[in-house]
């Protein structure tokens, strides 16, 4: 299996090379040349598999240049009950008739990003060892991504992590999660500024080609192909969990509703569907930052600048440019790389695009639909589920449940992705249901009382570069 770029100007590559990459050299995103097809006999074989067995069965189709025994070892070390709290890894629970919740947030940082990031940590370490290389990960975070990356990469050989966060802008829980890590290879840097300032510093250092090369800079952002691939697995697992009683009924399909920001999670659902998993609709749920809702309903994609992005109570979706979107548009435009290139060059300079002429294909051929949820919807949904089912969900998941209920057709089975646990967003939970005791997993009890380790710096790239130089030896 070779990988190619959505912009067509990058020579085909192997999985283990793509794994360590951010953007393709031509500015596009890397994709497999084709999606392996899964027939109903294979689906039946996979149905009884444990999570790591299923992950191996799926990933081996894409990671063909990795030794099979080694890949098996990586997924077996990644998807364990001790890391994810349950041997199901991503358990499904029934909410009401035809509506299910897919629990993706039982990993170390209580958000769905752990499912992919834990795999990436082990896969990075393995590939770096094989290549005899090292990597200095620098990233900017407003909460979930940074902590998931740190918990995945802590203690890994040949990897140093420098994570920039805006000083005083994260919740007490999020701060404690990151800053309490004591592993030698984890470096927390609080920047006196906003999240965008942190991101600008990361960009500045990445763009300094000399510095980048000398210190082997890399990233683990949501466009990473390894993350998308790892997420494909739980769409299959969830389908099997819900369709368990309907083995014979191969015509029956399920739909998924996914709270979306960067189009990463639902892009994995799209790939599962392309592989032949019987998915009916893929429903994109947005918050007030609704550029994807607009696209999937009207066909116009108009990303907003960072300063026009709303700050909401589902903050991990406060994104106005969906960085994985290009992967879908590439297929939609029938692999017309020149057109993809010109559309996304436009996006880069602040211009949107209009594909309303092919919207019929978007829904009928690819199954996409979308809806939107706002602060009051979030609160009402959290309260409704708590009062009626004694089920507490986080604000992002609430956006998904709200949209799923709104768009659900008669007899349509919808599985809603639970992208974080409520304890991470206690303030909004209290606003919705009053001051209750929110359950937390054992390993996070007393987290806020642990000593914290963080370096505070002024908002200047050179100061961050100095921190990196203190730790990482330059290559010759």
Ligand X SMILES: *Cc1c(COP(=O)(O)O)cnc(C)c1O
224 interacts with ligand X by CB under 6 A: no
Alpha carbons 328 and 365: distance in angstroms, whole number: 12
Interface mask toward ligand X for 292-311; x: CB under 6 A: --------------------
222 interacts with ligand X by CB under 6 A: yes
Question: What DSSP line would sit under 201-270, residue for residue?
Answer: HHHHHHH-HHHHHHTTEE---TT-HHHHHHHHHHHHHHHHHHSGGGTT-TT--EEEEEE-SSS-HHHHHH
Of 6 and 419, CB closest to ligand X: 419
283 interacts with ligand X by CB under 6 A: no
Taking the alpha carbons of 221, 285, 88, 62 in that order, is the dihedral positive or negative? negative
Q: Which of 98, 106, 174, 419 binds ligand X (CB under 6 A)?
A: 419
DSSP H or E segment with residue 164: strand 159-166
429 interacts with ligand X by CB under 6 A: no
Cβ 144 vs Cβ 115: under 8 Å:
no
368 forms beta bridges with: 282
Cβ 225 vs Cβ 201: under 8 Å:
no
Measured from the Cβ of residue 359, the count of other Cβ atoms closer than 10 Å reads 18
State in angstroms the smallest separation of the CB of 54 from ligand X: 21
Which parts of 90-143 fold into alpha helices (H)?
A: 113-131
Cα 291 to its chain centre, rounded Å, is 18
Q: Which of 260, 293, 297, 373 binds ligand X (CB under 6 A)?
A: 260
Number of residues counted as binding ligand X (CB under 6 A): 16
106 interacts with ligand X by CB under 6 A: no
- Phi, psi torsion values for 316, nearest 5 degrees: -75, -5
The size of the chain, in residues, is 476
The number of C-alpha atoms within 13 Å of 246 and in the hemisphere containing its C-beta is 13
Of 10 and 373, CB closest to ligand X: 373
265 interacts with ligand X by CB under 6 A: yes
Interface mask toward ligand X for 182-221; x: CB under 6 A: ----------------------------------------
Alpha carbons 19 and 124: distance in angstroms, whole number: 8
286 interacts with ligand X by CB under 6 A: no
255 interacts with ligand X by CB under 6 A: no
Identify whether 169 is a catalytic site residue. Answer: no
Cβ 402 vs Cβ 381: under 8 Å:
yes
Of 62 and 263, CB closest to ligand X: 263
Alpha carbon distances (Å) from 186 to 159, 178, 183, 468, 475: 9, 9, 6, 11, 20
> Which single residue brings its beta carbon nearest to ligand X?
264
Cβ 414 vs Cβ 257: under 8 Å:
yes
The two structure tokens encoding residue 359: 């919207």
State in angstroms the smallest separation of the CB of 25 from ligand X: 24
144 interacts with ligand X by CB under 6 A: yes
5 interacts with ligand X by CB under 6 A: no
Alpha carbons 150 and 51: distance in angstroms, whole number: 23
Q: Which of 243, 420, 433, 465 binds ligand X (CB under 6 A)?
A: 420
16 forms beta bridges with: none
Nearest to 447 by CA among 416, 424, 476, 414: 424
Of 385 and 420, CB closest to ligand X: 420
Of 55 and 268, CB closest to ligand X: 268
Give me the catalytic one of 2, 72, 94, 113: 113
Q: Taking contact as CB under 6 A, which single stretch among the options 30-38, 50-58, 253-261, 384-392 is the one that binds ligand X?
A: 253-261
Q: Which of 259, 269, 367, 422 binds ligand X (CB under 6 A)?
A: 259
Q: Which of 62, 84, 263, 330 binds ligand X (CB under 6 A)?
A: 263
Q: Which of 317, 392, 393, 468 binds ligand X (CB under 6 A)?
A: 317
State in angstroms the smallest separation of the CB of 42 from ligand X: 27
Of 111 and 329, CB closest to ligand X: 111
Taking the alpha carbons of 454, 458, 460, 462 in that order, is the dihedral positive or negative? negative
Which positions are annotated as active-site residues? 113
In the complex, the residues that contact ligand X under the rule CB under 6 A are: 111, 113, 144, 222, 259-265, 316-317, 396, 419-420
């Amino acid at each position: 299996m070779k990988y190619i770029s959505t912009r067509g100007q990058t020579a085909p590559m192997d999985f283990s090379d793509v794994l360590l990459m951010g953007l393709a050299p031509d500015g596009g995103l890397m994709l497999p040349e084709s999606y392996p097809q899964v027939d109903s006999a294979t689906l039946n074989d996979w149905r009884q598999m444990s999570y790591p067995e299923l992950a191996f069965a799926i990933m081996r189709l894409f990671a063909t240049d990795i030794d099979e025994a080694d890949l098996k070892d990586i997924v077996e070390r990644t998807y364990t009950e001790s890391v994810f709290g349950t041997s199901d890894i991503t358990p499904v629970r029934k909410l009401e008739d035809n509506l299910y919740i897919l629990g993706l947030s039982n990993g170390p940082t209580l958000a769905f990003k752990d499912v992919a990031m834990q795999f990436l940590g082990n896969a990075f370490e393995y590939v770096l060892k094989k290549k005899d290389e090292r990597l200095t990960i620098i990233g900017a975070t407003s909460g979930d991504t940074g902590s998931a990356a740190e918990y995945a990469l802590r203690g890994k050989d040949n990897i140093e992590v420098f994570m920039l966060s805006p000083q005083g802008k994260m919740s007490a829980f999020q701060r404690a999660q990151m800053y309490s890590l004591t592993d030698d290879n984890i470096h927390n840097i609080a920047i006196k500024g906003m999240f965008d300032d942190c991101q600008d510093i990361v960009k500045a250092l990445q763009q300094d080609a000399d510095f980048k090369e000398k210190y082997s800079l890399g990233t683990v952002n949501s466009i990473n192909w390894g993350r998308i691939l790892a997420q494909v697995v739980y769409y299959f697992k969830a389908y099997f969990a819900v369709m368990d009683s309907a083995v014979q009924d191969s015509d029956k399909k399920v739909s998924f509703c996914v709270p979306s920001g960067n189009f990463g999670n639902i892009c994995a659902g799209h790939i599962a569907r392309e592989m032949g998993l019987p998915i009916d609709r893929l429903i994109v749920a947005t918050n007030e930052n609704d550029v994807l809702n607009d696209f999937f309903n009207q066909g116009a994609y108009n990303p907003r600048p960072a300063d026009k992005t709303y700050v909401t109570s589902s903050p991990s979706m406060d994104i106005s440019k969906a960085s994985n979107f290009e992967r879908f548009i590439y297929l939609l435009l029938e692999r017309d790389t020149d057109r993809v290139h010109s559309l996304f060059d436009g996006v880069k300079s602040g211009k949107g695009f209009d594909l309303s002429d092919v919207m019929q294909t978007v829904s009928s051929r690819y199954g996409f639909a979308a809806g939107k949820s706002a602060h009051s919807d979030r609160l009402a949904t959290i309260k409704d589920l708590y009062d009626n089912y004694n089920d507490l969900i986080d604000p992002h998941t609430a956006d998904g449940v709200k949209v799923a209920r709104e768009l659900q057709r008669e007899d349509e089975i919808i599985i809603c992705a639970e992208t974080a646990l409520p304890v991470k967003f206690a303030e909004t939970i209290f606003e919705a249901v009053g001051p209750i005791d929110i359950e937390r997993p054992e390993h996070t009890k007393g987290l806020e009382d642990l000593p914290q380790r963080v370096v505070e710096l002024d908002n200047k790239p050179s100061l961050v570069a100095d921190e990196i130089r203190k730790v990482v030896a330059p290559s010759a």
